[in-house]
Amino acid sequence: MTAQTESHGRFDRRLIGLVLVLLGGALLWLAIDQRETLHGLWRGEPTLVVELGGLYHRMPAADALALEKVSQEQLSASQPRLQRDMTQLVEEELDRIFTDIHAQVPTFADWYFSLSGEYSRMTFWLLDRAGMVDRDVVLERLQQQLFDDTEYAARLQRLNRAGAMAMKSHQQQLRGDWIEQVMERVSGRALAPESISQTDFRLSLEEVLPALDQRSGPDFESRLAVSATAASGAGATAVTMRLLGRRALGAAGGSLRMRGLTRGAARAGAAAGAGTMVCSPSVVGAPLCGALAFGLTWAVTDWGLLQFDAWRNRDMVEAELHASITALREDLEAQLLAHWEFVVEQQHAEMRQSVERTFIPARELAMPDRRRG
Amino acid sequence: MKRIWIDSGPDVAVMLVALAGLFILHLVAVDLSTPAVLGVWLILALVQARGLYVHARARRRLLLHAHVRFGSPLQRYLSGRLLMTLRTGLQAALLSALLLPFVIRLDQTAAWQLLLLHLPLAALARSWLGSALERHLSEHFLPLARWRFWLGLNLCLLVPLLALVSLYGRYPDLQESSLMTAISGEVALQQAQSELLLAALQFHAALDAGAWWLAQQLVPVAGLQVAGWLLLFGVKALFLWSYLLYLAGTLTLAMETRAWWRRNDGAD
């Protein structure tokens, strides 16, 4: 009987224990359910300490997220503006450069359809045939008159530098505006550095600023200039020569050379005839007379043929040169704009990423239940 | 069945206290100083070490019983007191060093609820395993088998369940970010009063961010995503192993305390 009572007593105790355990479990469930509230009670509402320019400002995570939005909006607005500025800069400068180049075309044509031009071509052609030189005098002249005289390569380099400077000033403007906007939003929330606890979430906006500084610094500028030069600057002259050689002189120059040879045959025939006719074989010094008559006739014939050739073909040659120069300008402009578009896009992408990275703690903190684990 | 329910009561109570301790730690740990963190780590390690040690001894006893003659001095030499203490201590120290940041970073209410709901099941499984294995196994092997089966069963149950809960969790969107951005962002989010704890939390955060990043990459190489998920599950399994060892250690300690209490009570 006593054993049975004892067994009953033990069972009752265990049952009470089980009820207590259930009660404890329910309490723990409640505590887990109110985890965020308990966190809040223990640690207070999570706030961020935003650090900028050596000053600290306390703000809720949601307000910090508004700063991120402002920053991203500013970057989004900045990119097309900078892109537009760069396009305008490139177009205006190329307009100036190529106006000068176009203006040189008649000078080149003057030389091309002159006796000196003709004889230079013939001399170099003969020397080339004899294997003594390997130069194309027409292309050299073209290079000198159209590009060297207009300081083409130097002006392209100046354009690159001006682009880098424009980006730099744009960055400075952007940074200034950004700081102004951020400061406007954090004003009145400043706090002393001593009051910052170790467990406060810190958001250093300084990390965004060096990114801007770095991009607008001299290193970036020179890097940019070098890459832009590689794309269009120093190599552009060679590109130009190839283009012009292929396009204009392939059509006009090739036919000109043919015409030159025809002219050579015509003037040789005319000069030989004139020498025979003017100087009688009985006259003393007939060889000298013959040579003079031959030379003069040659020159006059040549001049006449050149004038005729100029009258017939000069407009076409000039038009083809203008067309080639315009095509070159279009290629170059597309190349330069693509280059700057890439640089601006890359730069803004990096800045966007920098802003995004900086504000990750704010985004995470703003989530009511940061899921991990 | 009713008896199993009633018998499971003390086990549930002990594990409930253990889980409540971890939950309180989760709430307050970031404000603890380094000595306090070290103290907590030591307590966790001691609890785990006790469970590991008791069962390592049982395993060794079984081995000696089977292969070494009774009365041989080898019985004493191979009983493995010092080396076994050191080994289990080291193992427990490492595992509890993992458990601590895991518990602090377990920011998912559903995961905590799962751990709580798992307790009565774990206690029932323990009672059931005890009665089920009792009929088949010798009294020397029974405690060891019960310990092993219990750990394995719970691990197999908890890993998929916790992974399932995690699948429905909200994670930072890292698809557009680089790996370094993902890691540095998550690392920057960690805050703790203690430098030591902060370093541990940052390490775990980096590991988590790496796994999330891999799992979110929409690259054609599916291997990367699989690697991310495997890393995520692997890390979870490690945490759960450490957690279960902590529960098992608590149960062992409770059992020993009860036995000691009964002995003393009986002596009085």
Contact between chains at B192 and A199 (C-beta distance less than 8 A) = yes
For residue B266, what pLDDT is reported? 58
User: Quick check: A250 pLDDT over 50?
Assistant: no
Which tens digits make up the pLDDT trace of A97-137? 999 989 988 888 888 888 777 777 777 777 777 777 667 77
In sequence order, the 6+-apart residues with CB closer than 8 A to the CB of A279 are A286, A289, A290, A293
For residue A256, what pLDDT is reported? 47
For residue B131, what pLDDT is reported? 81
User: Quick check: B67 pLDDT over 90?
Assistant: no
| Alpha-carbon gap: B165 to the closest alpha carbon of chain A (Å) | 10
Residue of A nearest to B240 (CA): A373
Amino acid occupying residue B2: K
Write the residue in B20, B27, B186 that is nearest to A42 by C-beta: B27
Cα–Cα distance for residue pair A279/A44, rounded to 1 Å = 120
Cα–Cα distance for residue pair A18/A279, rounded to 1 Å = 144
> pTM to 2 decimals?
0.56
For residue A247, what pLDDT is reported? 47
User: Quick check: B78 pLDDT over 50?
Assistant: yes
Please report residues of B whose CB lies closer than 8 A to that of A198: 191-193
Contact between chains at B177 and A200 (C-beta distance less than 8 A) = no
In sequence order, the 6+-apart residues with CB closer than 8 A to the CB of B108 are A369, A371, A372, A373, B165, B166, B169
Please report residues of A whose CB lies closer than 8 A to that of B30: 43, 199
CB B96 within 8 A of CB B246: yes
Which tens digits make up the pLDDT trace of A18-57? 788 888 889 989 988 888 778 777 766 667 788 877 788 8
Q: Which residue has the higher pLDDT, B161 or A13?
A: B161
pLDDT above 90 coverage of chain A, percent? 6
User: Quick check: B229 pLDDT over 80?
Assistant: no
- Rounded to two decimals, the ipTM of the complex is 0.80
| Alpha-carbon gap: A39 to the closest alpha carbon of chain B (Å) | 6
Cα–Cα distance for residue pair B258/B90, rounded to 1 Å = 27
Cα–Cα distance for residue pair B15/A373, rounded to 1 Å = 21
User: Quick check: B246 pLDDT over 70?
Assistant: yes
Q: What is the mean pLDDT of residues A259-284?
A: 57
A41 touching B (Cβ < 8 Å): no
| Alpha-carbon gap: B216 to the closest alpha carbon of chain A (Å) | 15
Of the listed ranges A251-255, A348-352, B30-34, B68-72, the least confidently predicted one is: A251-255
Counting one residue from chain A and one from chain B, the pairs whose CB atoms sit within 8 A come to 118
Q: Which residue has the higher pLDDT, A207 or A154?
A: A154
For residue B23, what pLDDT is reported? 93
Contact between chains at B188 and A360 (C-beta distance less than 8 A) = yes
Q: Which residue has the higher pLDDT, A7 or B16?
A: B16
Q: With 0-12 CB in 10 A as exposed, 13-18 as middle and 19+ as buried, what is B72?
A: exposed
Grade residue B58 by pLDDT with cuts at 50, 70 and 90. Answer: confident
Q: What is the mean pLDDT of residues A69-91?
A: 90
Segment of A299-308, B126-135, B154-163 carrying the highest mean pLDDT: B154-163
Grade residue A84 by pLDDT with cuts at 50, 70 and 90. Answer: very high
| Alpha-carbon gap: A198 to the closest alpha carbon of chain B (Å) | 6
Q: What are phi and psi of A359, to 5 degrees?
A: -95, 5
Contact between chains at B181 and A42 (C-beta distance less than 8 A) = no
Contact between chains at A364 and B111 (C-beta distance less than 8 A) = no
A31 touching B (Cβ < 8 Å): yes
**What are the Cα distances from residue B50, in Å, to B45, B92, B95, B154?**
8, 9, 13, 19
Instruction: Determine how β-strand A190-191 pairs with β-strand A201-204.
Output: unpaired
Residue of A nearest to B232 (CA): A373
Which tens digits make up the pLDDT trace of A188-211? 777 777 777 666 777 778 767 555
Tokens of B17: 């206290």
Q: What is the mean pLDDT of residues A358-366?
A: 75
Q: What are phi and psi of A149, to 5 degrees?
A: -65, -25
Using the structure block, give the residue that is written with the tokens 């307590």: B43
For residue A283, what pLDDT is reported? 57
Q: Which residue has the higher pLDDT, B218 or A292?
A: A292
What is the rounded average pLDDT for all residues in chain B? 83
| Alpha-carbon gap: A45 to the closest alpha carbon of chain B (Å) | 14
Sheet harboring A201-204: ordered strands across?
A: A190-191, A55-60, A47-52, A201-204
User: Quick check: A343 pLDDT over 60?
Assistant: yes
Contact between chains at B177 and A353 (C-beta distance less than 8 A) = yes
Segment of A29-43, B132-146, B150-164, B211-225 carrying the highest mean pLDDT: B150-164
User: Quick check: A183 pLDDT over 50?
Assistant: yes
CA A62 to chain centre: 38
In sequence order, the 6+-apart residues with CB closer than 8 A to the CB of A94 are A159, A329, A332, A333, A336
Choosing among A360, A363, A365, A370, which should be mutated to test the B contact, i.e. which has the most B CBs within 10 A? A360
Cα–Cα distance for residue pair B24/B16, rounded to 1 Å = 12
For residue B45, what pLDDT is reported? 94
Residue of B nearest to A18 (CA): B9
Q: How many CA atoms lie within 13 A of A241 on its CB side?
A: 17
CA B44 to chain centre: 10
Q: What is the mean pLDDT of residues B54-78?
A: 80
Using the structure block, give the residue that is written with the tokens 């076409």: A316
Segment of A268-272, A354-358, B256-260 carrying the highest mean pLDDT: B256-260
A199 closest CA partner among A365, A316, A30, A335? A365
Residue of B nearest to A367 (CA): B170
| Alpha-carbon gap: B238 to the closest alpha carbon of chain A (Å) | 12
Grade residue B43 by pLDDT with cuts at 50, 70 and 90. Answer: very high
Write the residue in A198, A361, A370 that is nearest to B193 by C-beta: A198
Provide the residue count of chain B.
268
A47 touching B (Cβ < 8 Å): no
For residue B44, what pLDDT is reported? 93
For residue B250, what pLDDT is reported? 92
Q: What is the DSSP letter of B32?
A: -
User: Quick check: B40 pLDDT over 50?
Assistant: yes
